Structure 1
Amino acid sequence: MASFPDTIHFTGLNTPVRIEWNAHDLDVIGEIPREIDGAFFRAVPDPAYPPKFDDEIVLSGDGMISRFGIRDGKVDFAIRYVETARYKAEKAAGRSLFGKYRNPFTDDAEVQGIDGTVSNTTPVWHAGRLFMTKEDGLAYEIDPETLETIGRWDYHGALKSQTFTAHPRVDPATGEMFFFGYEAGGLCTPDVAYCIADKDGNLVSEQWFQQPYCSTIHDFAITGKYAVFPIFPTTADLDRLKAGGAHWAHQQELESWVGIMPRYGKVEEMRWFKGPKGVSAFHFVNAYDDGDLVHLDICLSDTNAFAFMREAGGIHRAQNELGGGLVRWTFNLASDEEGFESRVIGPPGDMPRLRDADQGRAYRAAWYLTINPQGGAPLPGGPVGAAFNAMLRIEPGNGRIDMMPLEPGLAISEPVHVPSSEPDHEGWLLAVIDRQLDAGRFASELWVVNAGDIAAGPVARVLIPVPMRAQIHGAWVSRERLAQARGRAAAA
């Protein structure tokens, strides 16, 4: 195509920006607490070239890695493309060469066999390295200072899986990273690789198992004792791909499943629990164990949240008609039953954030995004076509829910959490806010919010001179960890 399609995937907050830039000492309204010292990395899909087909989706956008560097109340910013094999091939050709979303049979012949991942979903920090990830391929390592792409990461050849999740989990006590790859053995295979990297970044375990059907496993969870793999009925089919069709199609009449195994055990110990038909979840707040019980808190909907995945399965429902909520699933490992308990603990929403220190443990509070019906029509854009306009703070233990509503014409992306040095302080949340100026024009800001008092709104706002394309996920890395990474690089 000579230009970008006039669809929701390329208009509104999804309007391509395609600018690599950096700036120093951005304007700040208010005062940024001095204890916020480090970098907020963001994954931003932004297509470098118009797509081959007019029905392309936002999730195919080339990955950009951006960084807000914060120190002494001042903020610098930089953003660059992740130079994947796909990006380099298209840059050399000056046009799009890859076809429909995750369908290599629609790619140009000249790029057959070239890694097609765009690395646009999640920045991941572990053992002094920064990675950009997307679950259809391996991660790419990024220089956290320059944002230059170092190269594809496979643990020096040790990792055999062809894919790496966008949602690994790092244990705050051991420093280990638990991760997985689905379609690990290739396109449409039910193979899942479950892996562990130690605190120094060495791959120490890789085990493969097969899921009940080839589904999109976007996220998983760990507890102190277990690894938890929810499986939802959005499935891949090789014949459909060969015919030029969609990679994913949601099957409303198919059961969901949850596999639970000891996190240091063998995949042969996996126990499968049968869940409700047709439900879907892409993100989980947390999981923890309590005796024989395992609790999993998930952002559940009654069907797939992505219209293109629903429609490929023959499901035609408007986005505002989807049902769901923040739901706690509880599994009794002492029981022989394959079912489990389910109860709603919060309103519908997504993009949850937890304190890193609470990963895999019972937790007091978490934060996630939602649609506030009092905030006017959601801004168009983002991964599912409608942006969030409120943030919630929830305490599952007592049911307390606080809200930070946005005024009409504003949208919020997933926050990151910054811990506080004060023992009774819940820390800070950083999130990009987009503001509609008029039809088709937007401005962006970085907000700093007291995590324990989100209803008070931002304590500081950082003005961004260039509008931002909608973010997917982000990560916070402290100045101390950045310094350790520089030391490791200097010693190498």
Structure 2
Amino acid sequence: MGAFPQTIHFIGSNTPRRVELSVRDLEIEGEIPAEINGAFFRAVPDNTHAPLFEDDIALNADGMVARFNFVDGAVDFDIKWVETERYLAEKAARRRLFGQYRNPFTDDPSAEGVDRTVANTTPVWHGGRLFMTKEDGRGYEINPHTLETAGKWDYYGTLKSETFTAHPRIDDKTGELFFFGYEAGGLCSDEIAYGIADKDGNLISEQWFKQPYLATIHDFVITEKYVIWPIFPTTADLDRLKAGGAHWAHQQDLESWLAVMPRYGKVEDMRWIKGPVGVSSFHQVNAYDDGDLVHIDLCLTDTNAFSFMREAGGIHRQQQEIQGALTRWTIDLSKDDPQIEERPLGPPGDLPRLADADQGRPYNRAWYLSMNPQGGPPMPGGPVGINFNALMRIEPGNGRLTVMGVPPGAAISEPAHVPSADPDHGGWLLTVIDVPNSPNPSDYSSELWIVAADEVEKGPIAKVKTGLPLRSQVHGSWVSRAKLDASKLQGKA
């Protein structure tokens, strides 16, 4: 194609921006709390070139790493391409070489053998290093001070898996990183690799096992005793890919599964627990132990939330027809045949955020995004094609829910949590808000809002004005100044 298609994946906050830039001393409305000292990193898919196919999707865009850098009450903004093998090959060719989402059989022949990952999903900080990740390949290390790409990360040559999840889990008390890769053995492999890296970033364990069917596994959870993979029936098929078809197709008649094993155990100890038919969840909030019980809180829908995955499976439902809820699954591992007990916790939504200290442990609040019907028509954009317009704070123990809305027609991105040293203060949330300037859905200005995490209903205590229309992020991460100062890669910011 010679131009960008005018579909939901290329308009609104998915409008290609294609610009690397640095802006110092952004305009600030209000006052930045002194404890917010560090960097908010964002994974931003954007398009270097027009796609080969009109039905291309936002998740197939090249990765950019963006940073809001907080320094003594001032805020700078930077954004750079992640220089993956794929990005560099297309830069040299000055055109798109890679075809449909995760289907190498649709690529230009000159791209054969080039790593296809776009590293566009999650910035991950661990062991003094920053990585940009996407689950179809290994992560790329980024210099947190310059945003330059250092190269692919394989744990000093010890990692065997060809893939690395976009959602590792870090135990805040031990500093360990727990991760996995599905399709670990290559395209359409049914193997999953489960790894643990110690607090210093050294790989200390990698074990492999097989799925009951070849599913996308975007997220997983840990507790103090267990590691748990929720597996949902959105499946891949090699013959379909060879025919030029979609990588993922949701199968509404297949059951879901939970794979549960001791987090320091062996894959031979794994237990498989059958779940509901046809459901889907891309993000889990948290999980924790309660005696023999394990509670798993997840953003659950009755089918796949991505239209391109539904339609590939023959499911034709409008986005507003999808049913779901923030849901708790509970299993009793003292039983020989554990069953999933299900109860709703809160309204439907996604992109949950948890305080780092609560990871894998009992928790009293979390945050996630949802849709406020009073907010007007949603802004097009984001990975699903429709943006959220409300931020929710939920207390899962008692169901208390508070909500922050945004201006009419505006969009809100996944927040990052910044902790406070004061145990009586809940910290802050950082979230980018895209505010319309006109009826044109691609004409908006992006602001970073700072919100008291336990008082979201009061709205922002400060706004950082970029004066720019920023492309939608997928996920983001907060890194403190102390961690940045101790990073393994150094360089002038």
Task: Determine if the TM-score, normalized by the shorter chain, exceeds 0.5.
Answer: yes
Query: Which letter does structure 1 place at the counterpart of 2:83?
Result: E
Offset of 1:489 from its aligned partner? 5.1
**SS at 2:69 equivalent:** strand
Moved more, 436-445 or 139-148: 436-445
**SS at 1:241 equivalent:** helix
Moved more, 401-410 or 164-173: 401-410
Offset of 1:146 from its aligned partner? 0.3
Offset of 1:466 from its aligned partner? 1.9
Instruction: Work out whether residues 30 and 460 of structure 1, in 8 Å CA contact, stay in contact via their aligned partners in 2.
Output: yes
**SS at 2:472 equivalent:** coil
**Matched residue, 2:482:** 480
CA distance in 2, matches of 1:24, 1:366: 32
**SS at 2:485 equivalent:** helix
Query: Which letter does structure 2 place at the counterpart of 1:114?
Result: V
**Matched residue, 1:46:** 46
CA distance in 1, matches of 2:47, 2:206: 33
Does 1:83 pair with 2:83? yes
Offset of 1:266 from its aligned partner? 0.1
Instruction: Work out whether residues 380 and 386 of structure 1, in 8 Å CA contact, stay in contact via their aligned partners in 2.
Output: yes
CA distance in 1, matches of 2:172, 2:92: 42
CA distance in 1, matches of 2:415, 2:344: 23
Offset of 1:73 from its aligned partner? 1.4
CA distance in 2, matches of 1:192, 1:245: 23
**Matched residue, 2:473:** 471
**SS at 1:466 equivalent:** coil
**Matched residue, 2:166:** 166
What is the CA deviation profile of residues 21-52 of structure 1, one whole-angstrom value per residue up to 9, with x for unaligned ones? 00111000011101100000000000100001
Q: Tell me, which stretches of 5 or more residues in structure 1 are unaligned? A: none
CA distance in 2, matches of 1:156, 1:34: 37
Offset of 1:157 from its aligned partner? 1.1
Query: Which letter does structure 2 place at the counterpart of 1:264?
Result: Y
Q: Tell me, which stretches of 5 or more residues in structure 2 are unaligned? A: none
CA distance in 2, matches of 1:83, 1:485: 20
What is the CA deviation profile of residues 124-153 of structure 1, one whole-angstrom value per residue up to 9, with x for unaligned ones? 000100000000000000000000000000
Moved over 6 A (4+): none
Offset of 1:277 from its aligned partner? 0.6
**SS at 1:280 equivalent:** coil
Query: Which letter does structure 2 place at the counterpart of 1:84?
Result: T
Offset of 1:113 from its aligned partner? 1.1
Query: Which letter does structure 2 place at the counterpart of 1:448?
Result: I
Q: Superposition pairs for residues 65-104 of structure 1, below 5 Å? A: 65-104=65-104
CA distance in 2, matches of 1:473, 1:301: 20
**Matched residue, 1:460:** 462
CA distance in 1, matches of 2:226, 2:423: 29
**Matched residue, 2:292:** 292
Offset of 1:465 from its aligned partner? 2.3
**SS at 1:374 equivalent:** helix
Instruction: Work out whether residues 447 and 464 of structure 2, in 8 Å CA contact, stay in contact via their aligned partners in 1.
Output: yes
**Matched residue, 2:27:** 27
**Matched residue, 1:447:** 449
Q: Superposition pairs for residues 34-433 of structure 1, below 5 Å? A: 34-433=34-433
Instruction: Work out whether residues 145 and 490 of structure 2, in 8 Å CA contact, stay in contact via their aligned partners in 1.
Output: no
CA distance in 2, matches of 1:421, 1:340: 38
Query: Which letter does structure 1 place at the counterpart of 2:485?
Result: A
**TM-score after normalising by structure 2:** 0.98
Instruction: Work out whether residues 34 and 71 of structure 1, in 8 Å CA contact, stay in contact via their aligned partners in 2.
Output: no
Query: Which letter does structure 2 place at the counterpart of 1:40?
Result: F
Query: Which letter does structure 1 place at the counterpart of 2:310?
Result: R
CA distance in 2, matches of 1:146, 1:483: 13
Offset of 1:407 from its aligned partner? 2.5
CA distance in 1, matches of 2:159, 2:309: 30
Instruction: Work out whether residues 135 and 165 of structure 1, in 8 Å CA contact, stay in contact via their aligned partners in 2.
Output: yes
**SS at 1:485 equivalent:** coil
Offset of 1:71 from its aligned partner? 2.0
Instruction: Work out whether residues 185 and 191 of structure 2, in 8 Å CA contact, stay in contact via their aligned partners in 1.
Output: yes
What is the CA deviation profile of residues 210-234 of structure 1, one whole-angstrom value per residue up to 9, with x for unaligned ones? 0111100000000000000000000
**SS at 1:110 equivalent:** helix
Query: Which letter does structure 2 place at the counterpart of 1:485?
Result: S
Instruction: Work out whether residues 168 and 180 of structure 2, in 8 Å CA contact, stay in contact via their aligned partners in 1.
Output: yes
Query: Which letter does structure 2 place at the counterpart of 1:445?
Result: E
CA distance in 2, matches of 1:405, 1:301: 23
Instruction: Work out whether residues 332 and 338 of structure 2, in 8 Å CA contact, stay in contact via their aligned partners in 1.
Output: no
**SS at 1:431 equivalent:** strand
CA distance in 2, matches of 1:110, 1:21: 30
CA distance in 2, matches of 1:403, 1:253: 35
**SS at 2:283 equivalent:** strand
CA distance in 1, matches of 2:383, 2:301: 16
Instruction: Work out whether residues 272 and 338 of structure 1, in 8 Å CA contact, stay in contact via their aligned partners in 2.
Output: no
What is the CA deviation profile of residues 41-70 of structure 1, one whole-angstrom value per residue up to 9, with x for unaligned ones? 000000100001111000001000000001
Query: Which letter does structure 1 place at the counterpart of 2:443?
Result: R
Query: Which letter does structure 1 place at the counterpart of 2:455?
Result: D
CA distance in 2, matches of 1:41, 1:456: 25
Offset of 1:374 from its aligned partner? 1.1
CA distance in 1, matches of 2:110, 2:206: 33
